[in-house]
Amino acid sequence: MKITGIRLIIFDLDGTLINAYPAIIDSFNFTMAAVGLPARDSITIRRAVGWGDRNLLKPFVPPKKLAAALSIYRRHHAKALVKYSRLFPGVKSLLLGLKKRSFLLAVASNRPTRFSRILLRHLGIVEYFDLVLCGDKVTYMKPHPQILRTIMARLGVPRDQTLYVGDMDVDAQTGRRAGVRTIMVPTGSSTLPELEKEHPYAIIPCVKALASLFA
């Protein structure tokens, strides 16, 4: 399968380009201990990722403790991200190759801007992106299509020339609602059957395989 007619490629961050799960799990359980709540296993935490840090904690923390827990989480996470996060294999060469071919590249993440910027700078890929837009800078986070529509409008690219790449069923739903072709990778919080259920344009084994789809 080859993809043609694309000018803009928008990437999700966690689970797609970056493996930040060890950092998230470390910060999550540090926070739970700090507010006197039980730790959770890595699978439970991983499955809760993708909706922003407030929504990550919300199911596990009583409302009266949520503000304090979120503050603790964010302070810890700023350091944990640098210590534990890694690019998935082949990401930097993929982005470099796409830029050499004159694609516009963007990030659309429900992760807050501050932490997205920390990740992109620390891992040495911020310079590849023409625009980074995160959940705290839009009115509605994914799966609402606002974040993708805003990126397309700012970069002046129509939806039929835009490709979105993500790892969660919420990403597939966002792409569909925005009317863009969506490629999914099973390297994040959603299982392969969950991704297949959403009927995206295509599912590839990992993000570095994206390069092979362009003629």
Cα separation of 152 and 105, whole Å?
Answer: 11
Domains of the chain plus CATH, in order, are 8-19+86-213 (3.40.50.1000), 21-84 (1.10.150)
Residue of 146, 145, 152 lying closest to 173 (CA atoms):
145
pLDDT in tens, 142-193: 999 999 999 999 999 999 999 999 999 999 999 999 999 999 999 998 999 9
Res 168: pLDDT: 93
Res 30: pLDDT: 97
**H-assigned helices in 50-168:** 53-57, 63-84, 91-100, 113-122, 146-155
Instruction: Please compute, for residue 60, the number of CA atoms within 13 A of its CA located in the half-sphere on the CB side.
Output: 25
Helix (H, G, I), strand (E, B) or coil at 102: coil
Query: What length does the chain have?
Result: 215
Low-confidence ranges of the chain (pLDDT < 70): 215
Res 192: pLDDT: 94
Res 150: pLDDT: 98
Res 41: pLDDT: 95
Res 2: pLDDT: 85
Res 215: pLDDT: 62
- Cα 25 vs. chain centroid, distance in angstroms? 16
118 strand-pairing partners: none
